[in-house]
Amino acid sequence: MTIADATALCAGFLPDGVSEDRIRAAVDGGATAILLRQGGAAAAAFRLAVEQALPVCRACRVALIAGGGTAVVREHWDSGRSPDCDRLTVLTAPADDGAAGWVAASVKDALQAESGGAAFLQLPFMPVERLRAIAGAVKIPVIADCRGADDLPRVAGSGVTGIALPAGQLAADPALGSRAAAAIAEPFAGGRGMIFDLDGTLLDSMPMWYSIGSGWMRRCGMEPDPALDQDLIRVSNLHDAAVFLKARFDLEADVAAIEAGLMAFADDSYRMQVTAKPGAADRLRKLKADGWKLVLATATETPLATAALQRLGMLDCFEGIVSGGKETPDVYFRALEKLGTRLAETPVCEDAPYAMATARAAGFPVTAVFDPFWGEAWEQAAAAADRVVRAW
């Protein structure tokens, strides 16, 4: 029996609810596994519950998943195959060799667990979009917590291979098990999604960012040196830019005041000056009309991005905005959790070569959007992209 088969329908127990009769009742209700959580119980109580449940699960030939009580779990089973974390959960019985899994709450957690050797994932209650995104990002079995019959529509079509239901409900409703199986069997309902960068992809804003240091200094009545903009472009955020400016020009203002001035300069530009790339708005509206779900993933602060998109009539095209650096794929994973689509089928539209590389390394298809700011580096990055857009 595969792990996916063994965990298709889990009956959830807390330590004080474990008994042979209750386990057998859950199995009669269709349970393929008993999911034992420590909850707020003491380690000794959880240990006792594990020891009580094991022989019953063996006799019923169903799996036992013991999770949440890491210290107790490590006493009973070797966790060497699990990711190095405290969210260990172990599948065992009727055989006792165990399969190490991980309780994951995000796409990042799930991918880390899979790459670290987890045999399955156990997901707590979460919004449906995040549930779909996690299930669609990994190849190992995924068990989703479900609060009962009324909660099955959230799980249906999510791509999970197993559902964990309260044991009492499973025992009391003979039809619940078959309804849960039907929910798992439904086709993936995540639809189509796309992740967009903002600056240089949808907005012609790179010239503003290139000259923000010199522009702010001139606004303050200071004259920057000719090399400032070229040097400052290597800095990735406004705080570091403020530190750089203070040190370079020995400014009297503290770093916080300089950063606030840079933010005000950028805010004015986004609210009044920055323009959309030709055709970008029409392209977004066409995608939206065709049923695509869109999320913005940008290194720009959310208030600035929101102001520009609102002014340019593009804000309502997006399901949400996620802000963060792109040296790591975290911002793309969080965007995916808003979309609820499969990672490998969700294109990321980017202009920056380093961001394209980050998205590609994480498994996303990449659409390279031309911006002259990047010069020859863009051409090299675009050669490895799945799709190239030179103009919207």
How high is the mean pLDDT in each 10-residue block of the chain (392 residues)? 86 91 94 87 83 89 75 52 47 59 90 88 95 97 95 97 95 93 96 97 92 94 92 83 94 95 93 95 98 96 94 97 95 98 98 97 98 94 97 96
Q: Which residues contact 225 (CB under 8 A, 6 or more apart)?
A: none
The pLDDT, as a whole number, for residue 83 is 41
Q: What is the pTM of this model?
A: 0.89
Cα–Cα distance measured from residue 73 to residue 122, given in angstroms and rounded to the nearest whole number: 15
Q: Is residue 299 a contact partner of residue 359, using CB atoms and an 8 Å limit?
A: no
Cα–Cα distance measured from residue 144 to residue 66, given in angstroms and rounded to the nearest whole number: 15
Cα–Cα distance measured from residue 146 to residue 103, given in angstroms and rounded to the nearest whole number: 15
Helix ranges (H only) for the chain are 3-6, 20-28, 43-60, 70-76, 107-115, 128-135, 152-155, 167-172, 176-185, 206-210, 212-219, 228-232, 238-249, 255-272, 280-289, 302-311, 330-339, 353-361, 376-382
Own/partner contacts of 122-131, CB < 8 Å, gap of 24 or more, are 122/35, 122/65, 122/67, 122/89, 122/164, 123/160, 127/337, 128/154, 128/155, 128/158, 128/340, 129/190, 129/337, 129/338, 129/339, 129/340, 130/106, 130/337, 130/340, 131/155, 131/158, 131/160, 131/340
The pLDDT, as a whole number, for residue 82 is 43
Q: Is residue 57 a contact partner of residue 90, using CB atoms and an 8 Å limit?
A: no
